[in-house]
A and B are shown apart, each in its own frame.
Chain A
């Protein structure tokens, strides 16, 4: 038996898929921005010499790196609202979970980058009268960030793939839209194939851009090869 491929039902619903892709990018973007900011804060706390700051930060990082993201998502969607007495939309649950989760990973990237800067840079900054915070902001971070870019891009791409999990709590991302269409049209083969191809094209475009950026950075003298 040969299967008759027919993509017209999928094309007829391309609006739903496009809206799904927009929602996927929305969750990814939100989690990325919050994750980077929160990740920097966690990294600085973890690097603090005071153990009452570094221990809790280390604990949060370890917990979110060692538990499965889907378990975290379920906890934030089903358990937290009851515990805190708040309303939680699927988008909020996804944004909160993936922000904290990617913050835990970004924190390790930041920490690695900051630690990789030679002591002499700190000493030099202090010698010309900068405070610890000024030295960090003006001298150490700008150099560290450049070294961290490849690891950042990799994490961002991982994050985009992880966001597909929101489909399991009925947020209308690209995967959820595909599932809807396949149930409506009875064309699972075509819809899921198209969805997979859309993900492939978008993610490949991002990783090609990342590779290009990496090459540019390595030309400008700063080795970014880990």
Chain B
């Protein structure tokens, strides 16, 4: 029977904190980049102009139908061949995760915008608003409310995906777990601790999406 001993994990709190900082950094970066790019691509997907619709759709299809890890490794190993400079682990992982999240959130934005009654557009235009004004002041605020649960889910997915950065040796929680396990020969405790840390981070977020979903169902 294995004797559990977490002392060797606690002795490496510094390494874990550095890992947590790395995880939070890449999470924040991908959340901001992924969602803002997603909004732009999502608007492209609702456009009637073929020049906006087709590139946006190709982007969404390509990034939704390839695995994130393949994208990260492509940016890390393949892209530098075409560029005069190297791409670091953070940049490669952030590019892969952000573009992937942009493709998924674009579909959320498109669905949200298209779910708003056309009468809202007509009303906004009737009182003299331009497309941009109507979108910003009338459509998006209403759509955003309906999209909140789906977008929170995306955020959770981004947080989970951040572990893939360890495949290119970026210093985040899982990477630090690997390090601790190999230095102290304690994979059981090290990986259990990492799993628990992620669960503690994410569980409140997941409960929040359940709450938001329930509230939305009640309101509609």
Contact = CB atoms under 8 A, between A and B. Distances in A.
Interface of A: 1, 3, 62-63, 65-72, 74-75, 78-79, 82-83, 160-162, 164-165, 167-168, 175, 178-179, 182, 188-189, 191-193, 195-196, 199-200, 203-204, 207
A75 B177 CA distance: 10
Given A167-B69, A188-B81, A196-B70, A79 B192 contact: yes
Given A71-B195, A203-B65, 19 more contacts: A66-B156, A66-B202, A67-B198, A68-B163, A70-B174, A78-B181, A78-B191, A82-B187, A83-B2, A164-B69, A175-B67, A175-B70, A182-B77, A188-B77, A191-B78, A192-B73, A196-B66, A196-B71, A200-B65
A203 to B, nearest CB: 4
Contact of A82 (B2, B79, B82): B2
B160 interface: yes
B65 A204 contact: yes
A68 B191 contact: no
Nearest to B202: A66
B195 A175 contact: no
B15 to A, nearest CB: 16
Interface in B195-210: 195, 198-199, 202-203, 206
A7 to B, nearest CB: 13
Contacts of A188: 77-78, 81
Given A68-B160, A71-B198, A192 B70 contact: yes
Interface string B50-69: 00000000000110011111
B187 A79 contact: yes
Interface of B: 2, 61-62, 65-71, 73-74, 77-79, 81-82, 84, 156, 159-164, 166-167, 174, 177-178, 181, 187-188, 190-192, 194-195, 198-199, 202-203, 206
Given A79-B191, A192-B73, A164 B67 contact: yes
Given A67-B202, A83-B2, A75 B195 contact: yes
A204 B202 CA distance: 31
Nearest to B190: A79
Contacts of A200: 62, 65-66
Nearest to A2: B82
A189 B198 contact: no
Contacts of A1: 84
A169 to B, nearest CB: 11
A62 B74 contact: no
Contacts of B187: 78-79, 82
A67 B199 contact: yes
18 contacts: A3-B82, A65-B206, A70-B166, A71-B177, A78-B191, A79-B192, A83-B2, A164-B67, A175-B73, A182-B78, A188-B78, A189-B78, A189-B82, A192-B78, A196-B70, A196-B74, A199-B67, A204-B61
